[in-house]
Structure 1
Amino acid sequence: MATILVTGASRGIGLELACQYAEAGDAVIATCRDTDTAKALIHLSESYENVEVQTLDVVDPLSILSLASMLSKRGDKLDALYSNAGIAVAEKVGEWSADSFSATLETNVVGPAMIMQAFIKVMAPGGKIINVSSRMGSFDFDINLGGELSSYAASKSALNMVVRQVAPSLRDRGVIALAVSPGWVKTDMGGHEATLTPEESVRTMIETVAKLTLEDAGSFIEYTGEEIPW
């Protein structure tokens, strides 16, 4: 039985990750910012004894350190950590606000960076830190340029660079860190016109993650395993 931690697990891709790993019999630590409003996640934990819900605010360094410390004291070792929590603020160029731009970078870049740093001590040998990115973070992606998700695209590019920077040192410690695009998924963020259901994206992503080796550390891939240009 593997131990899996998922951030941003109250809905969408994060919730589906928790569901599929729970159904497979793995120990799931599902985190979200506000457990009082995470009704679907709480229901999942009530349905599966192998699901544990913990509070984690990825923009609060003390929250990150507190959870990592608790897991360390318990002796937990994570086989996979899905750094999935993120936001997307729709603002066209010319309508940007410093507050929303900063909030996007803090949630999508600084949070995952602090999580990788704090949770390295509770990763199992061969453990995998999967940073959920996006094809929009690729400089090769030329769709919707100048659109409403400029800050989101910029944040995912920055996240990818953080992964490239940290991956070698984590690999030396036996941990695989990489960036994965889940595809265009029908979630609150992806919208109803997206081409994938959360079930489809997550099922394939889990299969891809299971095959990862230390040679994949620092890579940027699609949920199918296809390499994405930086």
Structure 2
Amino acid sequence: MAMILVTGASRGIGLELACQYAEAGNTVLATCREPETANALAHLAESHPNVEVQPLDVVDPLSVLSLASLVRKRGENLDVLINNAGILVQEKFGEWTADAFSATMETNVVGPALVMQAFAELVNEGGKIINVSSAMGSFGINMEAGGLTSSYATSKAALNMLVRQVAPGLLAKGVITVSFSPGWVKTEMGGPEANLSVRESVESLIRAFGNLGPEQAGQFLDYTGLPLPW
């Protein structure tokens, strides 16, 4: 079975990705900043011996390099790397702060960049690097939120461009790199009014991941695998 690494696996979409991949018999390396407080993830690991939990702070270069070194020393390789860790800070226009924008860009853009860079050589030929983005990062979709989520939307647009930048070089090594919108999902971030449950979104995402081909490298896709406007 496949070896899957998921960042931000303590809750929401990341936790459900780890769960569904594990239930299908795959080996899952599930990461989060504070494993000691991630009770749901700990329970998943206790009930599934194919799940390993490791600490990872994607904005800490030493943390990223430490985990990559551990995987390398054990002689392991990844089939799927999923950059899922992210934050959303709500601030309305007129009250924006540099701290919110900086933290959002660091977690949602710099973090995935560092993770891809550190783990790229550990992804098997024919493997995939998935970056969890958002339709809010599209210039072609009107999702006016009154400025409340501007830092988040800006960071996801930047993440999509990051994928475009690295995809050709990684494809030359046999690795397909893409960004995906999971849809509007009932998570702590998405809120209770969202139209997709976490399970529904992740089931569709995993199917779409499995159907990826080289021609889709660098694309921005929805949770069903269809292209989204940039």
What TM-score results when the alignment is normalised by the length of structure 1?
A: 0.99
Alignment of 1:1-230 (within 5 A): 1-230=1-230
Identity %: 66
Question: Which amino acid in the other structure matches residue 115 of structure 2?
Answer: I
Letter matched to residue 6 of structure 1 = V
Q: Distance in 1 between matches of 2:71 and 2:222?
A: 30
Q: Distance in 1 between matches of 2:200 and 2:165?
A: 30
Letter in 1 for 2:23: E
Distance 2:110 2:55 in 1: 18
For residues 43 and 82 of structure 2, the distance between their equivalents in structure 1, rounded to whole angstroms, comes to 21
Aligned-residue CA RMSD (Å): 0.7
Structure 2 CA distance, aligned partners of 1:147 and 1:115?
29
Q: Which residue identity does 1:64 align to in structure 2?
A: V
Q: Deviations over 1:42-73 (max 9, x none)?
A: 00000000000000001101101110111011
Q: What is the deviation of 1:147?
A: 2.8
3-state SS in 2 of match to 1:36? helix
**What SS class does the counterpart of residue 174 from structure 1 fall into?**
coil
CA distance in 1, matches of 2:13, 2:66: 24
Post-superposition CA distance 1:131-163 (Å, at most 9, x none): 000000100121225330000000000000000
SS of 2:200's partner is: helix
User: Residues of 1 paired with 2:49 and 2:210: CA distance?
Assistant: 23
Q: Secondary structure at the match of 1:46?
A: helix
Structure 2 unaligned residues grouped into runs of 5+: none
TM-score by length of 2: 0.99
**How far apart, CA to CA, are the structure 2 residues paired with 1:190 and 1:144?**
15
Per the TM alignment, residue 7 of structure 1 is displaced from its structure 2 partner at its CA by 0.3
- Inter-partner Cα distance in structure 2 for 1:194 and 1:147: 19
**4+ runs deviating over 6 angstroms:** none
Q: How many residues align?
A: 230
Distance 1:118 1:204 in 2: 28
Given that 1:72 and 1:121 are in contact with CA atoms closer than 8 Å, whether structure 2 keeps it comes out as no
